[in-house]
C-alpha cells in the first residue's frame, strides 16, 4: 500500500462510520495568542471542545498538518537523529464532539489497524492512564475494560500522567488517553527482549502510532482542572509512522513519504543515501525541514525576525547549515526541493503547488541571505574552539550572541554545532546579552491573565456590527490582564457592534455606557471566536444593561478604506496578472496598506492604470452585495479569490462589488456603494520581502487632503518662481542657469587662488636655508586650502608653509613642508599642526609633509602666523 492509499483508507473507514471528512486546517494559526502553529489534530477544533461554539458535525475525520518545534510540544532536537519524529507531520484523526466515547473509539481503532491495515496483533501494545494522586484523578478503568475484550491483558500497559494524560498547552482542553504502540523489530530481536519493556522508552522500532484522547477537562490558568460541558473523543495517528509500520520499514524516512525528497537531495549532493551516517542525517534533516518550511510559507507565514516568522527562519537556517557543512551545498538548494514536494502532495494539500513560484522565491532569498554570513560564522567558531575547550568546554554567552547578532545563527543552531564539537553553550549568558540589546526581539507576551469571570454561562457573543453602530448589551464574561506596568480588562458582551481586529482591519473603539458612566473601549480584539472589548477600567455595575457604542465616524473611514482595498486587489490582478495574491493588509481610518506577491517593482505607468481602474469603479457607484454564512465550497464556486487560511466548519462571508470584478471572502466592514469611497489615491509602492510588494493608498477626505497638500506645494513653487504655467520648464531652466553660474564661479576662484599663490611666494622669509611663509588667508573651501598648499609646494623650494583660514565660520590650519626638510631638518607637519591647533582650540594631524587642523576659536587664527614663526625657529635651533 503506498502512502496515498493508506491515507485514503483511513478517511474512507471513518466515512463508513458516519464521519464527515474535512480538509486540513492551515498549519499557521491566526487569532489565537496561545498557539503559533497547529501542533495536533485537535487544535483547530479547540472551540468545539470548550463549548465556545457548536460543532457543525458531531463526527469528523481528517488529516491535519502539524508542526512541533516550539512551545509544549517541541521535537526539533530529535529530528533527523531519530527516525520517527518530524517537525511537520500529518496527524490522522477521528473526532467525536459530544457524541460517541471510549467504546466506539477504541473498538474502531482496533478494527482499522488489525482488520483493514492487517497489522499483526502480536506486535501491538496499548496503554491506559493509571491515575494521578496529585491531580486527584482515578485510573481509567473503562478503557481497560474495553481493551480487555480485544487484546490479552498482558499487552495492556499502565501509563503515568506524562504519557497518558494529554494536554495541548499550558491551558485548554485535556484528558486521559490510551495509546497504541507497535513493535517493528525482527523476530530475533523480539525473542531476546520483551517488547513490553521497550514501550515509551525511546526505542526507534517500538513506537507509538496512535493516541486516543478522551477530552473531559479544561486546564485553567491556575493549574486546576474543571469538567468540560460534554465528553469528546480526539484521536491522533502519526501518518508517517503508520506508513512505516504498514510498509514494513525500519524508519519513517524509508517510506514513500520521504524517499522522493531523500533521493533528490542525495542526487544533488552526488552521493548515495545510506553510505555515511553523518551525511544521511543531513539528508534526513533537510527532507524533513523542507516540508515544515514550505507548508508554513504556503499557509501564509513568511520567515522573519520574531515570533512565528522566526520559528520558520530557524528551521530554514538549520537546514541550510546541514547542507553547507555535510553535503557541500554552497549555493541555495532548498528551494529546488519544493517542486518535488509540491508534486507529491498536490492531491491532499494543493496549496503548495498553487503557490510554488512564490514559495520558491521566498526560500531562495532566505537561503542567499544566510549563506552570506554562514561561512564566516563557522570560521569564527572554529577559530575560538581551543579557547572554548579551555573554558569549561563552553561557548560563552557573548560569543553565542555575536553569532546570533552578526552572523544570523539562531541559538539552537549554535547549540547544535556545539554538540557536534563536544561543547556546551552558556544559554543563560546568551539570554543576558539578548536582554541587553533591548530593541531586538522584545517579547511583549510577558502578560499575566486571570481566568475568566463568567457572569452568564452558555451565552454566545454575537457580532451585529455589520448592521448597526449601537446596541443594548450585557457583559457575559471578563478578565484582567496584567503586563509589566499596565493592566487592562477584556470584556465579552452578549452582542456587540464592535468589530474585532482581523483580516487586516483594525478593531473599533467607542464606549460602554450605563448608569451615567462611560467606560472607554480602547480597542477590540479577537481570541478564537470571542470578541474582547479592551478597557482600562471595569464598569461599576457589571450586571447593568449597557449601551455599546462604536466611534461611527472612524468606522465610516475604515469602511471606505476596506472596500477600496478590495477594488485595488482586483485592479492589481487585472493589470499585473493572476499571480497576484494577497499577503497581508492593514486597514485603518487613515490609510490602507496592501501586500501582495509580485516579482518586480510596479512601474509608474502600471500604478496610474491601477489607480484609474479603481477610480472608474468608484465612479460607477457599484452597490455592495454582501452574503453571510456561505459554506466555504459555495463561496469558491462564486469565484471568490481563493484564500488559503480558511478551515473546515468555516462559514464565510462573501463581499462582491460587481460579480465580474471583485468577489472576496471577507469578514470586514464595507461601504454600501463604491461611490462612498469618493476618490482613491496611491501614495507609495515598495518592497517588503522577497517577491512581496506593498502599496499604500488613501481614500475620501484623506485623498482630498493628500491632493490638496501636493497642490499647495506646487502653488508655493509657482509663487517663488513667479510663474503660472510651465513650472517644470522654469525649474529646469533655473537648474541650467545655476550650472553655468557655478562654472563661472569656479573659474573665478581658481584665478584668485593663482594670484594668491604668486603673492605668497613673494612673501617668503629666508631662514637658515628655509623659505618660511606663514599667513592668514581668505578662502571659500577646504579643498582650496589644500590645493593652495600643494600648488605652493610646486613653486617654492625648501618650503615651510603655514596657512590659517576661516572656512564656513570655522578656523582651519594647514602645514606644508618640502620633502627634503622633513628628512634633513627634523621638521614634521603633523606635530607642528597639533601644536598650532592649540591656538584655535582644536586638533588635527596628517602626514609628516602635510597636515591640517580644525578648531573652535576663530579669534585664535590671527596669532597662528606669528606663533608658527616662533615654532619653526625653535625647532631649527633645537
Q: At closest approach, how far in Å is the CB of 370 from ligand ATP? A: 24
Euclidean distance between CA atoms 612 and 608, whole angstroms:
6
Q: Which of 399, 436, 521, 434 is nearest to 470 (CA)?
A: 521
Euclidean distance between CA atoms 725 and 730, whole angstroms:
9
Position 287 contacts ligand ATP (CB under 6 A): no
Q: At closest approach, how far in Å is the CB of 84 from ligand ATP? A: 6
Q: At closest approach, how far in Å is the CB of 646 from ligand ATP? A: 24
Nearer to ligand ATP, 62 or 208 (CB): 208
Euclidean distance between CA atoms 233 and 48, whole angstroms:
11
Out of 94, 164, 211, 830, the only residue in the binding site for ligand ATP (CB under 6 A) is 211
Residues 63-102 that bind ligand ATP (CB under 6 A): 68, 75, 85-86, 89, 91
Q: At closest approach, how far in Å is the CB of 606 from ligand ATP? A: 46
Position 295 contacts ligand ATP (CB under 6 A): no
Cβ contact 393:425 at 8 Å: no
Phi first, then psi: what are they for 383, rounded to 5°? -60, -30
Cβ contact 34:169 at 8 Å: yes
Q: Is 85 annotated as a binding residue?
A: no
Out of 198, 209, 244, 425, the only residue in the binding site for ligand ATP (CB under 6 A) is 209
Tell me the residue number closest to ligand ATP, measured at CB: 238
Out of 44, 131, 236, 504, the only residue in the binding site for ligand ATP (CB under 6 A) is 236
Query: What is the DSSP secondary structure assignment for residue 499, as one 8-state letter?
Result: P
Euclidean distance between CA atoms 217 and 234, whole angstroms:
13
Surface-to-core class of residue 232, CB atoms within 10 Å of its CB (0-12 exposed, 13-18 middle, 19+ buried): buried
User: Among the candidate windows 237-245, 375-383, 585-593, 605-613, which touches ligand ATP by CB under 6 A?
Assistant: 237-245
Nearer to ligand ATP, 172 or 377 (CB): 172
Instruction: Residue count of the chain, please give it.
Output: 878
Q: At closest approach, how far in Å is the CB of 295 from ligand ATP? A: 14
Rg of the chain in Å (alpha carbons): 37
Distances in Å between the alpha carbon of 223 and those of 168, 226, 463, 480? Answer: 14, 10, 32, 17
- Residue in this structure with the C-alpha cell 507565514, named with its chain if needed: 301
Position 238 contacts ligand ATP (CB under 6 A): yes
Q: Is 566 annotated as a binding residue?
A: yes
Cβ contact 410:320 at 8 Å: no
Euclidean distance between CA atoms 88 and 69, whole angstroms:
9
Q: Which of 233, 224, 241 is nearest to 180 (CA)?
A: 241
User: Among the candidate windows 206-214, 326-334, 368-376, 381-389, which touches ligand ATP by CB under 6 A?
Assistant: 206-214
What are the grid coordinates assigned to 277, written together?
551516517
What are the grid coordinates assigned to 347, written together?
492531491
Q: Which residues contact 748 (CB under 8 A, 6 or more apart)?
A: none
Position 353 contacts ligand ATP (CB under 6 A): no
Out of 240, 364, 366, 549, the only residue in the binding site for ligand ATP (CB under 6 A) is 240
Q: At closest approach, how far in Å is the CB of 418 from ligand ATP? A: 23
Out of 210, 214, 253, 489, the only residue in the binding site for ligand ATP (CB under 6 A) is 210
Out of 208, 280, 351, 664, the only residue in the binding site for ligand ATP (CB under 6 A) is 208
How many helices (H) and strands (E) are present in the chain, helices listed first?
25, 37
Q: Is 579 annotated as a binding residue?
A: no
Out of 241, 555, 566, 617, the only residue in the binding site for ligand ATP (CB under 6 A) is 241
Euclidean distance between CA atoms 134 and 630, whole angstroms:
48
Give the binding-site size for ligand ATP (rule: CB under 6 A): 17
Q: At closest approach, how far in Å is the CB of 75 from ligand ATP? A: 4
Q: At closest approach, how far in Å is the CB of 262 from ligand ATP? A: 16
User: Among the candidate windows 235-243, 262-270, 695-703, 823-831, which touches ligand ATP by CB under 6 A?
Assistant: 235-243
Euclidean distance between CA atoms 432 and 716, whole angstroms:
54
HEC-encoded secondary structure of 566-613: HHHHHHHHHHHCCCCCEEEEEECCCCEEEEEECCCCCCHHHHHHHHHH
User: Among the candidate windows 204-212, 324-332, 509-517, 778-786, which touches ligand ATP by CB under 6 A?
Assistant: 204-212
Position 562 contacts ligand ATP (CB under 6 A): no
Q: At closest approach, how far in Å is the CB of 24 from ligand ATP? A: 14
Q: Is 490 annotated as a binding residue?
A: no
Numbered residues of the known binding site: 562, 566, 666, 670
Binding site for ligand ATP (CB under 6 A): 40, 68, 75, 85-86, 89, 91, 166, 208-211, 236-238, 240-241
Numbered residues of the known binding site for Zn(2+): 562, 566, 666, 670
Amino acid at each position: 500500500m503506498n502512502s496515498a492509499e493508506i491515507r485514503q483508507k483511513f478517511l474512507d473507514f471513518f466515512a463508513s462510520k458516519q464521519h464527515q471528512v474535512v480538509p486540513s486546517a492551515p498549519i499557521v494559526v491566526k487569532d489565537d495568542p496561545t498557539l503559533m502553529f497547529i501542533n495536533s489534530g485537535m487544535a483547530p477544533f479547540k472551540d468545539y471542545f470548550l463549548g465556545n461554539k457548536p460543532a457543525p458535525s458531531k463526527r469528523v475525520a481528517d488529516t491535519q498538518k502539524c508542526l512541533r518545534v516550539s512551545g509544549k510540544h517541541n521535537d526539533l532536537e530529535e529530528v533527523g537523529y531519530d527516525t520517527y519524529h518530524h517537525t511537520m507531520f500529518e496527524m490522522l484523526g477521528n473526532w467525536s464532539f459530544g457524541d460517541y466515547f471510549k467504546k466506539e473509539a477504541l473498538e474502531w481503532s482496533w478494527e482499522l489497524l488489525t482488520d483493514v491495515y492487517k497489522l499483526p496483533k502480536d506486535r501491538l501494545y496499548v496503554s491506559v492512564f493509571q491515575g494521578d494522586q496529585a491531580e486527584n484523578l482515578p485510573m481509567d478503568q473503562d478503557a481497560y475494560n474495553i481493551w480487555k475484550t480485544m487484546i490479552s491483558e498482558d499487552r495492556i500497559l499502565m501509563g503515568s500522567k506524562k504519557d497518558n494524560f494529554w494536554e495541548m498547552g499550558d491551558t485548554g482542553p485535556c484528558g486521559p488517553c490510551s495509546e497504541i504502540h507497535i513493535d517493528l523489530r525482527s523476530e530475533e530481536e523480539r525473542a531476546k527482549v520483551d517488547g513490553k519493556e521497550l514501550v515509551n522508552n525511546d526505542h526507534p522500532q517500538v513506537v507509538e502510532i496512535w493516541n486516543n484522547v478522551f477530552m473531559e477537562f479544561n486546564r485553567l490558568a491556575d493549574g486546576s482542572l474543571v469538567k468540560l460541558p460534554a465528553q469528546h473523543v480526539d484521536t491522533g495517528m502519526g501518518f508517517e509512522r503508520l506508513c512505516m509500520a504498514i510498509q514494513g520499514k525500519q524508519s519513517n524516512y524509508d517510506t514513500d513519504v520521504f524517499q522522493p525528497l531523500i533521493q533528490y537531495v542525495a542526487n544533488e549532493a552526488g552521493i548515495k543515501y545510506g553510505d555515511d551516517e553523518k551525511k544521511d542525517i543531513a539528508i534526513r534533516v533537510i527532507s524533513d525541514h523542507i516540508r515544515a518550511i514550505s507548508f508554513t510559507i504556503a499557509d501564509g507565514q513568511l520567515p522573519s525576525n520574531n515570533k512565528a516568522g522566526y520559528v520558520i527562519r530557524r528551521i530554514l537556517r538549520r537546514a541550510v547549515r546541514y547542507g553547507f557543512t555535510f553535503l557541500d551545498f554552497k549555493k541555495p538548494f532548498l528551494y529546488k526541493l519544493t517542486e518535488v514536494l509540491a508534486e507529491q502532495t498536490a492531491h491532499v494539500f494543493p496549496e503548495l503547488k498553487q503557490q510554488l513560484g512564490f514559495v520558491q522565491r521566498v526560500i531562495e532569498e532566505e537561503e542567499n541571505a544566510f549563506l552570506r554570513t554562514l561561512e564566516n560564522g563557522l570560521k569564527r567558531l572554529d577559530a575560538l574552539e581551543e579557547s572554548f575547550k579551555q573554558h569549561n568546554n563552553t561557548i560563552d554567552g557573548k560569543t553565542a550572541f555575536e553569532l546570533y547578532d552578526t552572523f544570523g545563527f539562531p541559538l539552537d543552531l549554535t547549540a547544535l554545532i556545539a554538540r557536534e564539537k563536544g561543547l556546551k553553550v552558556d544559554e543563560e549568558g546568551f539570554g543576558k546579552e539578548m536582554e541587553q540589546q533591548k530593541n531586538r526581539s522584545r517579547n511583549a507576551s510577558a502578560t499575566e491573565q486571570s481566568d475568566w469571570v463568567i457572569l452568564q454561562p452558555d451565552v454566545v457573543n454575537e457580532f451585529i456590527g455589520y448592521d448597526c453602530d449601537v446596541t443594548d448589551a450585557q457583559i457575559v464574561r471578563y478578565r484582567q490582564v496584567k503586563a509589566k506596568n499596565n493592566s487592562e480588562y477584556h470584556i465579552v458582551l452578549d452582542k456587540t457592534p464592535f468589530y474585532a481586529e482581523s483580516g487586516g482591519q483594525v478593531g473599533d473603539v467607542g464606549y460602554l455606557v450605563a448608569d451615567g458612566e462611560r467606560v472607554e473601549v480602547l480597542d477590540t480584539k479577537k481570541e478564537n471566536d470571542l470578541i474582547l472589548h479592551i478597557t482600562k477600567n471595569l464598569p461599576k455595575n457589571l450586571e447593568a444593561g449597557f449601551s455599546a457604542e462604536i466611534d461611527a465616524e472612524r468606522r465610516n473611514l475604515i469602511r471606505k478604506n476596506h472596500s477600496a482595498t478590495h477594488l485595488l486587489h482586483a485592479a492589481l490582478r487585472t493589470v499585473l496578472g493572476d499571480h497576484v495574491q494577497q499577503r497581508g493588509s492593514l486597514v485603518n481610518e487613515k490609510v490602507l496598506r496592501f501586500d501582495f506577491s509580485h516579482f518586480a517593482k510596479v512601474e509608474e505607468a502600471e500604478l496610474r492604470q491601477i489607480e484609474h481602474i479603481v477610480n472608474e469603479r468608484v465612479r460607477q457607484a457599484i452597490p455592495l452585495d454582501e452574503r453571510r454564512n456561505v459554506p466555504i465550497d459555495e463561496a469558491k464556486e462564486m469565484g471568490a479569490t481563493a484564500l488559503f487560511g480558511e478551515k473546515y466548519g468555516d462559514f464565510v462571508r462573501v463581499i462582491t462589488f460587481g460579480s465580474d470584478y471583485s468577489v472576496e471572502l471577507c469578514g470586514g466592514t464595507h461601504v454600501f456603494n463604491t461611490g462612498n469611497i469618493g476618490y482613491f489615491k496611491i501614495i507609495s509602492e515598495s518592497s517588503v520581502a522577497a517577491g512581496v510588494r506593498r502599496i499604500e493608498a488613501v481614500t475620501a477626505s484623506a485623498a482630498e487632503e493628500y491632493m490638496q497638500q501636493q497642490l499647495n506645494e506646487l502653488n508655493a513653487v509657482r509663487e517663488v518662481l513667479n510663474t503660472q504655467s510651465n513650472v517644470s520648464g522654469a525649474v529646469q531652466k533655473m537648474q541650467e542657469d545655476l550650472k553655468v553660474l557655478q562654472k563661472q564661479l569656479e573659474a573665478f576662484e581658481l584665478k584668485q587662488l593663482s594670484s594668491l599663490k604668486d603673492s605668497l611666494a613673494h612673501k617668503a622669509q629666508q631662514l637658515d636655508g628655509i623659505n618660511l611663509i606663514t599667513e592668514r588667508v581668505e578662502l571659500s573651501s577646504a579643498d582650496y586650502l589644500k590645493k593652495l598648499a600643494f600648488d605652493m609646494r610646486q613653486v617654492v623650494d625648501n618650503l615651510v608653509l603655514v596657512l590659517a583660514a576661516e572656512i564656513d565660520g570655522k578656523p582651519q590650519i594647514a602645514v606644508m613642508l618640502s620633502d627634503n626638510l622633513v628628512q634633513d631638518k627634523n621638521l614634521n607637519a603633523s606635530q607642528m599642526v597639533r601644536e598650532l591647533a592649540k591656538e584655535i582650540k582644536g586638533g588635527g594631524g596628517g602626514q609628516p609633509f602635510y597636515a591640517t587642523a580644525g578648531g573652535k576659536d576663530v579669534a585664535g587664527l590671527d596669532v597662528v602666523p606669528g606663533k608658527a614663526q616662533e615654532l619653526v625657529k625653535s625647532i631649527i635651533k633645537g
